[in-house]
Amino acid sequence: MKLRSVLILSAVAGVMVLAGCSDKTTGSTQTLTFTELDKGSDFAPIGKGTDRSTPPGSGFALSIPLQDSSKKTVGELNATCIATKPGGQNLHGTCSGVANVPDGQLALAVGGDVGDNVTGAITGGTGKYEGATGTFTSNSKGQGSEDTFNVTLP
């Protein structure tokens, strides 16, 4: 009887501990969409990359204005990308950046092949986006790209 009581109390205590656990990634979500503007963008190569080759250690830095659906410039994307292994026209490596958006910033990370269409992670934020996680995509649309940020807040 005593052993049975101890087992029941242990089970109840375990359930109480697990009940206190929560998944911090299931907060509120929102989607932000912006268009990258070619006009006003800055792009600079890093290292000895060419149009046909991106050796390790080469890459680029960029700064691109972001426009909302009303065609108003509301932010800026700033990033650096560095190749970690030899590649062709697409860089194979890592990129880190920050999207300055209305009411804050989103920290961004990308790994793997970096070309015209990119998918990456939102790894943090400031202001309204403090503690943000999520994903983003940047899809080439001729002149400029469309950036979609799927943001989850704690």
For the chain, which ranges sit under pLDDT 70? 1-26
Instruction: Please provide residue 18's backbone torsions phi and psi, each rounded to the nearest 5 degrees.
Output: -65, -35
> Is residue 36 a contact partner of residue 77, using CB atoms and an 8 Å limit?
yes
> What pLDDT, in 10s, does the model give residues 12-22?
334 333 344 44
Whole-number pLDDT of residue 103: 96
Class of domain 24-152: mainly beta
Whole-number pLDDT of residue 95: 95
Whole-number pLDDT of residue 26: 62
